[in-house]
Amino acid sequence: MPKRQERDRVPEDELPLTPATFQILLALADGERHGYAIMREVRERGEGSVRLGPGTLYGSLKRLLESGLVEESDERADPELDDERRRYYRITSHGLAVARAEARRLDTLVRAARARKLIGVRPA
């Protein structure tokens, strides 16, 4: 079966994302990063409660590359200050659409949890 063109792909068909995949796409949503920077971003955003190990990160990145949600970048912000062996990744337009669809899906779940007073309720 031939691979569908990016414009023919429906983001919702790729949902739900694994937590690691969503975390990686979130880290790349505002710019390209190398692997260690992605791990650091995820750890900082999760205030230390979420950590991606190298095996999870690079296994996930491999799948994201194969699915066209992420691509490698040859550009470097400052080649003089960077290790040339580092690989940089950036989110594709389809990857961004998938991340947005997943964020909407999760938002719906969080709103349902709030409505059922599972979160956002202060103890008496």
Across 110-123, average pLDDT: 89
What per-residue confidence (pLDDT) applies to 79? 55
Considering the entire predicted model, what is its pTM?
0.85
Across 4-30, average pLDDT: 90
Per-residue tokens: 97: 């659409």
Whole-number Cα distances in Å, 25 to 68, 120, 123: 12, 26, 34
Residue 22 has pLDDT above 50, yes or no: yes
* Closest-CA residue to 40 (of 22, 55, 19, 54): 54
In degrees and rounded to multiples of 5, residue 78 shows phi and psi of -145, 95
Cβ 98 vs Cβ 25: under 8 Å: yes
Ranges 7-21, 54-68, 80-94: which has the least confidence: 80-94
